[in-house]
Chains A and B, each alone.
Chain A
């Protein structure tokens, strides 16, 4: 009964595919013992495959896959046989439609129609254009980046010792040295002597002790310490004499001393 209803349904709307495109018929209940496709024949217009089989009461249920090699209407039941060799009888028709996309009689696919490329000037010119753009872009990145790094470097370049010392000494001589500048002045002078006496490699503690013991640097630094740190600084501090050696700091001389 079910098979009959199914057959009626298939009759009303046979599945349709194009040549070479697989189609499937799933959960199809067919009477009799287990079925399998007929052996392939080179002239067969249909290639049929049984994907799966399940028992279904006294009958069997199948998933079938097929594709047509020719256009036309075919009955897949004609391409099945019983596995046990019994003759195929009482099978309902399993109609399928296979249609062709090409006109009737045409075997070769349609030739490609040449169309104009959407890009300007074709592939070769496009490549040339892209190459030029790449070179220009690279040049722009390199040049702009370098100029910016120059600017950045100039902006953050630490001031040299001489550049730091001169305004501090000048401000001290003119009596307008702020508290933080006093601290900077003292430590920059320590740095000045450190470089002048080539004590860069000494640990800080050893360096400052050597500086304080040095006949020239020690006297000047101790006087400065008294001026800056004593609670009762000496009133007769001659700042002009104290800071005279630093008024015209020669960086070249300092650096050559440091290198020596």
Chain B
């Protein structure tokens, strides 16, 4: 756990800092605010995890992912999940080539670097299952052939917390596959003002003999600020971030407490601990450190742990929220009792 390859990694750290700064600046040219979301996206990208964004429509989720993919020179695909979507619509299928009378594999949109699974809870469970299986195994079987997914491969799924009619809620076991679940908030007043003024400045784009009103997607800079090579170096740098034994103790303590809280029916799995450490390493790097500290743990605990905890029915009936329980767990860390 405690790899300290500092001499090797020093240059890598410096390069990565510049890469991260450039990406954040590029994203900021189109998306206002949402610094935390951008940070979470980069954490997922650098640490090879997947991210689920929960938020009401109109919070620039798609734009954010789109600009990120263009900033880092990654292939990007978007799938709008609907009730009639089939697994083959995502993974691909065998089609009969009538000229040769042979089956030919047609790869689906999952063969990309950055996949935006929009409104994942609208698809049937078998489609969700197919995607989540591919997310974990990073390979897809079509017919008799197995194909590896491109590297890096990151799924950013979105889920609307309202309008639950006609949706299929992801069960805990499948939510566990997402390293992070980030809950988007509305922008601040200042950010909202900036969004409106930027949008008002967008013009009209002439097209053929007519014209269309420009959107933020039309002004995305096509030229990437970072190459996939730089991304690989960033991933390596994350791997070199030091995780002390003390930090591991904090993680173990927190995960263990989540299993013994009286309001919690299902605590965090060991995968939560692994994800906490991976994500903390990436966050440490993004904050210019080559070692993880409790601040990383405190900052990421909600996104890593909340979707992995299930409260008891009695607690829910009493109005206890997962967020409140988690705050209590974080406050009690290191103490002798749950609420110390």
A222-242 interface code vs B (CB 8 A; 1 in, 0 out): 000100111110000000000
B298 in contact with A186 (CB, 8 Å): no
B337: chain A residues at CB < 8 Å are: 158
Residue of B nearest to A189 (CB): B334
What are the residues of chain A within 8 A of B340 when measuring CB–CB? 158-159, 161, 164
Which residues does chain B contribute within 8 Å of A205, judged by CB atoms?
295, 298-299, 301-302
> Is A105 part of the binding interface, using a Cβ–Cβ cutoff of 8 Å?
no
Q: B4 to chain A: which residues have CB within 8 Å?
A: 231-232
Establish whether residues B291 and A186, one from each chain, have CB atoms under 8 Å apart when the complex forms: no
Stretch from A63-71, A111-119, A175-183 forming part of the interface with B: A175-183
- On whether the beta carbons of B336 and A158 are closer than 8 Å, the reply is yes
Classify chain A's interface size.
Answer: 20 to 34
Assess whether B250 is in contact with A231, with CB atoms less than 8 Å apart.
Answer: no
Residues of B within 8 A of A190 (CB): 294, 334
State whether B247 touches A204 (Cβ < 8 A): no
Q: What total of A-B pairs shows CB separation below 8 Å?
A: 87
Q: Would you call A186 and B294 a contact (CB within 8 A)? A: yes
- Taking a contact as CB atoms under 8 Å apart, the answer to whether B246 and A228 are in contact is yes
> Is B249 part of the binding interface, using a Cβ–Cβ cutoff of 8 Å?
yes
The answer, yes or no, to whether A215 is at the interface (CB within 8 Å) is no
Q: Residue B80 at the A interface, CB < 8 A?
A: no
A209 contacts the other chain (CB 8 A): yes
Least Cβ distance of A109 to chain B in Å? 64
Given contacts A186-B246, A205-B298, contact A230 B291 (CB under 8 A): yes
Min CB distance B304 to A, Å, is 12
Which residue from A185, A188, A208, A229 sits with its C-beta under 8 Å from B247?
Answer: A229
Among A187, A191, A212, A232, point to the contact of B250 (Cβ < 8 A).
Answer: A187
Contact with A along B268-296 (1 / 0, CB 8 A): 00000000000000000000001111110
- Contact partners of B331 in chain A: CB under 8 A: 191, 194, 200, 204
B334 and A229 within 8 A (CB): no
B253 lies within 8 A of chain A by Cβ: yes
Given A229-B244, A230-B242, residue A188 in contact with residue B294 (CB < 8 A): no
Interface status of B327 (Cβ within 8 A of chain A): yes
Pick the residue among B242, B244, B246, B335 that contacts A188 (CB under 8 A): B335
Chain A residues contacting B334 (CB-CB under 8 Å) are 183-188, 190-191
Tell me the complex Cα distance, A113–B183, Å: 89
Q: Answer whether residue A90 sits at the interface, using C-beta atoms and an 8 A cutoff.
A: no
User: Is B293 within 8 A of A164, CB to CB?
Assistant: no
The reply to whether A179 and B245 contact each other, CB–CB distance below 8 Å, is yes
**B299 near A187: Cβ-Cβ < 8 Å:** no
**Cβ-based interface call for B2 (8 A):** yes
Q: Which residue of A lies closest to B331 (CB)?
A: A204
Chain A contact residues, CB within 8 Å of chain B = 158-159, 161, 164, 179-180, 182-188, 190-191, 194, 200, 203-205, 207-209, 212, 225, 228-232
Which of B292, B293, B335 makes the CB contact (< 8 A) with A191?
A: B335
Please name the residue on chain A nearest to B240 by beta carbon: A231
Q: Is the CB of A204 within 8 A of B293?
A: no
Q: Which residue of B lies closest to A206 (CB)?
A: B298
Whether B6 sits at the interface, judged by CB under 8 Å, is yes
What is the distance, in angstroms, from B10's C-beta to the closest C-beta of chain A?
12
Are A225 and B294 also in contact (CB < 8 A) when A204-B330, A231-B2 are?
yes
Query: Closest CB-CB distance, B92 to chain A, in whole Å?
Result: 41
Verify if B266 is at the interface (C-beta below 8 Å from A): no
When A164-B335, A187-B250, A204-B301 are in contact, do A231 and B293 touch as well, CB less than 8 Å? no
B residues near A186, Cβ cutoff 8 Å: 246, 250, 294, 334
Minimum C-beta distance from B237 to chain A (A)? 14
Contact yes or no, B295 A212, CB < 8 A = yes
Task: Report the nearest B residue to A204, measured CB to CB.
Answer: B330
B6 touches A179 (CB 8 A): no
| Distance in angstroms between the alpha carbons of A180 and B335 in the assembled complex | 12
Distance of B238 from chain A, by nearest CB (Å): 15
Contact status of A225 and B336, CB under 8 A, knowing A179-B245, A183-B250, A231-B2: no
